[in-house]
Structure 1
Amino acid sequence: MISVLIPTYNYAHFLDETIQSVLNQSFTDFELIVVDNHSTDNTTEVVEKYLTDPRVSYYRNETNLGLVGNWNMCLRYPKAEYIKFICADDKIHPEMLDKFYAVMELYPNVSLITCDKQLFDGQPWVVELPLKHLQQGKKVIFDTMTSKSWIGEPTSVMFRKSNLSLGTFRNDYTLHVDWEMWNRQLTVGDCYIIPEALAYIRAHASQHTRAVSSKACFEEYYMAKLMYDYQGFDNAEDKVQIRRIVREKAAQCAKKAMYKQIPKITNKKSRETFFKALSITAREGVFLKGLGLLWNGFQTKTKKRLLKTAMLIPVTMVSTIIQSEDIPVSVISLFVK
């Protein structure tokens, strides 16, 4: 059996689609648990009409526990061996549970399953993951920590209930709370990636601010530091690679949370962010590395702006400009480097 968990807060307008995508599964041996984080909309009304199905249950928190608190509340209720989260605004392919269950049964060493995803309710596109099929857990951890968090959000993932012996979602993370959880779980088993878009992720219009960028780089640095204590990451080669990742994440803190805060240093929040990043930068000795990342980013942005401007200039004018002696070498080098 699979325990399907839907944590929700004020998403009544999406819940019907989400619940129906579970009830329409070709795999029927599941329990569906909706955990309402003290919503103020008509969530209860939406869910109640599904409670005639004995597989569906509904719990409402007495107070709002926050996103991570509600995710962990969900983990109190599963009875099944396999746990499948679905965000309250997402949907899943009709054969997702069937295919995920088959993999778990076939590969007892698999700790976690994920898949490609289809974005919807906006500009639609399929996100294909960089690895496919059965992969060592350690390999996936190193790959994501040196690239990006491609394992995916909870809607894309299913894991074994036994993994919870490693702990639940950490309250001290906010942006990468799921990624940190997946890393922990992959220390005790393999990862299986199904190269099909079985998760449907709703694309919300959002804007990533510098504040979010700063918080993300701090969390990634702390995640990298955790790798030193991971089970099975204790040989010399692992330690060298972890050290390299830690320094790279620290350099990102220098770039995004220290150097970029200097123009706003008089602001209290920016000053706190600056000194937090300064401490990490000094500890890991990556002042120059962080500055190099900042400079490379500046060059890339400058190139794009100049190229965009150049496209607006008539060809005859471009020829005249090139033949002139007024172009600084530093500007030309931005195009030819």
Structure 2
Amino acid sequence: MMKVSVCIPAYKQVAYLQRLLDSLLIQTFDDFEVVITDDSPDNSVEQCVQQYLQRLPIRYYRNEPARGMPGNWNTALDLARGEYIKIMHDDDWFATPTALGLLVQALDDNPQHDFAYAAYYNYYLDNGTTKLMTSPAYFRKAFQKDPVNILHDNLVGPPSVMIHRNKPAYRYDEKVRWTVDVDFYIRLLQQRPGFTYIAEPLLYVGMGKEQITEEVHGVREVYIPEYFYLLQKTGNGHFKSILVYDFFWRLLRNMKIRDVKDIRKAGFNGPLPVVTTYILNWQRRIPFLRKGPVSKLWMSLSFLFAPGK
């Protein structure tokens, strides 16, 4: 068994994949395998991989038929033989030669944790600019207290910024697309609380309009079913946190949900959190105050009397 499996669920983006593989070639930590699972409709990824077989310990697998996102991610994890799993999307890459080693060290030094993540750079593919993304102390404290608080704002980042121990229970929910990363983080930390954060930016995360997540960004028929499904799995108790309550308030407001019928029309038919109608009633009282500081104040006031606290 090697120390870490670098799992790359690939799809057509050969130029980006080459950049990622080149960043692996210069890593000072070398006790790893590379698992590439390919969902592409052609052999472009396979041809790219052939160029690296003599330089990297690659295991290539072609999905027949294609599994889609996140099924392709789970295929890579299922094939992984390393003690740790480092998933890398094919448009992301390691920022420094020591990046992989530092991520591995974070778990080695903290055996009580199954999960570690690092600061990173967003890299905007259309213009080549970057933005440093960090995980501030207030967020880490709330995330440690209850991982469901990540719903307020995902300040962990996408899966490429983290590493976790290789356990069969740690797989992505294939019923969702937009919430797939936060759902994974919540479930992993509910099974094994605690995490390690690395303040040094270790990765670049490619940001572009061609990404699958961009196709579903802000889509009511995606957000409502997926977030309500996630909340159904986590339970009503988390609404005791004002961070979760505020997230739910903003979700209903921003998706223009006026009543329960709108939730059903958006595609969610399961049981609703007990605070759903309560929040909708409060929002209907002052419908013209939909955003801004006054909405935040109104939300905070409603939280004081929310059911189930």
> Match for residue 287 of structure 1?
280
Letter in 2 for 1:38: S
- Secondary structure in 1 matching 2:136: coil
Distance in 1 between the 2:105 and 2:172 partners? Answer: 26
Paired residues of 2:149 and 2:241 also in contact (CA < 8 A): no
Distance in 2 between the 1:26 and 1:133 partners? Answer: 31
Distance in 2 between the 1:104 and 1:96 partners? Answer: 13
Shift of 1:280: 6.4
> Match for residue 30 of structure 2?
28
Structure 2 counterpart of 1:108, from 111, 129, 147: 111
- Greater radius of gyration (CA): 1
> Match for residue 8 of structure 2?
6
Kindly, what percent of the aligned residue pairs are identical?
Answer: 20
The answer to whether residue 189 in structure 2 is matched with residue 191 in structure 1 is: no
C-alpha offsets along residues 111-160 of structure 1, whole Å, 9 cap, x if unaligned? 21111111223331111111399869642614413x21111111101001
Paired residues of 1:224 and 1:242 also in contact (CA < 8 A): no
Q: After the TM superposition, which of the residue ranges 17-26 and 130-139 deviates more from structure 2? A: 130-139
Structure 2 counterpart of 1:202, from 201, 206, 224: 206
- Secondary structure in 2 matching 1:75: helix
> Match for residue 309 of structure 1?
none
Task: Answer 1 or 2: which has greater helix percent.
Answer: 1
Shift of 1:172: 1.4
Distance in 2 between the 1:64 and 1:299 partners? Answer: 43
- Secondary structure in 1 matching 2:79: coil
Distance in 2 between the 1:293 and 1:217 partners? Answer: 22
> Match for residue 221 of structure 1?
228
- Secondary structure in 1 matching 2:202: strand
- Secondary structure in 1 matching 2:29: coil
> Normalising by structure 1, what TM-score?
0.72
The answer to whether residue 249 in structure 2 is matched with residue 251 in structure 1 is: yes
**What is the root-mean-square deviation of aligned Cα atoms in Å?**
3.6
The total of aligned residue pairs comes to: 284
5+ residue gaps, structure 1? 230-238, 301-337
> Match for residue 158 of structure 1?
163
Paired residues of 2:139 and 2:155 also in contact (CA < 8 A): no
> Normalising by structure 2, what TM-score?
0.78
Distance in 2 between the 1:293 and 1:107 partners? Answer: 49
Distance 1:293 1:150, change over 3 A: farther
5+ residue gaps, structure 2? 294-309
> Match for residue 120 of structure 2?
117
> Match for residue 322 of structure 1?
none
C-alpha offsets along residues 179-198 of structure 1, whole Å, 9 cap, x if unaligned? 10111111213111111111
Structure 2 counterpart of 1:127, from 127, 133, 149: 133
Letter in 1 for 2:207: A
Distance in 1 between the 2:115 and 2:226 partners? Answer: 22
Paired residues of 2:116 and 2:196 also in contact (CA < 8 A): yes
Letter in 2 for 1:179: V
Distance 1:133 1:286, change over 3 A: closer
Letter in 2 for 1:109: Q
